[in-house]
Structure 1
Amino acid sequence: MYLFLDYLFIVFHSLLILFNVFGWLFPALRFWNFITLLMTGGSWFILGIFYGIGYCPLTDWHYMVLRELGETGMPPSYIQYILDRLLGIQITPLQADTVTVGVFFLALMASLYVNINAYRRRRELN
């Protein structure tokens, strides 16, 4: 069961990360991309007040599963973990945090921009 959950988290969490980064490119998905970005930011910066800035429940739950599978010494960043596990790329925690936060805010700005423009176009048509 834990092995299944491990693979489920790998797939779901990775797809969510990719959707957060690239979802704004697809007009039909832009609103939902903006929502998932807000939820991600809320997790990092609101839940982060209580659990540590950058907190993600998916990472927490996946790491619980990995501990049940006997894994130890997981990195503080899920991006570090996934890059190493899937691609064999090792980066420092500072590199992971810098890239993660930078890409997150770029995606958030892009999503905000395309969603505002779509809203304005809809208003002009009415």
Structure 2
Amino acid sequence: MAKRILVIEDDPDYQELHQTVFSALYEVIVVDSAEAGISKLDTEHFNLVIADINLFGMTGLEILRKINSAGLTQEIPVVICTGQSDPFTKEQAIELGAAGFVTKPFAVEAMLSFVGALLK
């Protein structure tokens, strides 16, 4: 059975990029809001979450807090993606249990390799 990745991303270009990059190897579910992402996490099993940091209604860090408070970061790696390379935000994400912090635009091969390592 294919590993499942939940992508929480509101930018249509990055939604398509994630789908294209990962769908040959994994089952990829893309949602465009934090609320939809939390709903999916409440009802379905995923092996990895990739969340944008700047989402309408809730940030990627808030999603990470919710996943962390439910005790799920131990079993589901969360990768935070952002177009800003703010060291404080990266530090916050790691402290909250993020498995990684990726700055957009990212190198596709590097992202594939990173995700592959997390899903082994």
Fold agreement, TM-score > 0.5: no
Structure whose residues are more often strand by fraction: 2
Q: Which has the larger radius of gyration?
A: 1
TM-score range, shorter chain: under 0.3
Structure whose residues are more often helix by fraction: 1
If asked which structure has higher relative contact order (CA below 8 Å, sep 6+), I would say 1
- Given the two structures, how large is their TM-score scaled by the length of structure 2? 0.24
